[in-house]
Amino acid sequence: MRIAVPRETAPGERRVALVPESCKKLMQAGYEIAIEAGAGDAAGFGDQEYTKLGVTVAADPAVLLGSADLVLKITAPSVAADAGGRNEVAWMRPGTIYVGSLMPLRHLAAVRALAAGKITAFATDAIPRTTRAQSMDTLSSMANLGGYKGVLLAAVELNRYFPMLTTAAGMVFPAKVFVIGAGVAGLQAIATARRLGANVVATDVRPEVKEQIESVGAKYVGIELSESAAAGGGYAKELSEEDRRRQSELLNAECAQSDVVITTALIGGVFAPRLISAATVKTMKPGSVIVDLGADGGGNCELSQPGKTVQYLTLPDVSDGANMGTAAMHIFTVAIG
């Protein structure tokens, strides 16, 4: 069987579907592996790292995918030729197997093209969250890394320190971090922020995760729901209109007094509910940071733009000639999952 690994082309994507160590194991098991030239560069693995193991490095992605029995890719394959002429699904032969984080509900065009091309696809992000399948669940593993990296991005952008520090000039009090959503990404974000010394508060629409939030060092805040928000498999479902209103009031109050807000909420692990409005942003402190880890699913914050850091300027009210202070700057860092 011939395994092909194309280069990732999504903006900001630095991962590669197979690292040299994995190639070595697969080749020892009898698989033939080919990888597109430069596919591992952004991840720190040059072509020479693969060629010295006997992996074929292909310059033409069309030829690479056209000769493959199994295609391994991080993101969904492209279906419409872009400026670089890539139409990865069209290059695959009928009967080819695709394995990767397909996110089928977000990439319907790719799913339909794969079906039309008689290509069998396995979405590793849709694997059930069971103990036996855990090692194959890329959604959980990447969410874990996303929660960690999201806090680091916030620490860099914030105009103050996370921990309490005592200096000769006085004391700096710890930053307050508010984490919305206590799934895999949220719990890792809590743990990372706590390790950096921040005071952490967290919420989730599933009250059963209260103990998990507290076990990693955060204070739980939440509302009493009129009906369960658990959708099974560790995911949440949409709230009723009344519960959404009460949750919004809670989020507005917490965001207004937080230095950093980390949003990780997804419905069914796919779509991001809109939780933070532009009006809420205006109530936040100058220099505060929101890291929207749900940006690829539509964004938990109204002002988020996938792949971009958005600087939101709140001008002071000067209608009465007063309040002429410095304008507040809010920075929204969007992490690519």
| Catalytically active residues, by annotation | 129, 134, 137, 140, 235
Per-residue b or e along 293-331, where b marks 16 or more CB atoms closer than 10 Å to that residue's CB = bbbbbbbbbebbebeeeeebeeeeeeeeeeeeeeebebb
Is-contact 37 60, C-beta < 8 A? no
Is-contact 269 236, C-beta < 8 A? no
- Rounded to whole angstroms, the Cα distance separating 158 from 249 reads 25
Residue of 225, 215, 224, 186 whose CA lies nearest to 202: 186
Is-contact 190 167, C-beta < 8 A? no
- Rounded to whole angstroms, the Cα distance separating 64 from 2 reads 10
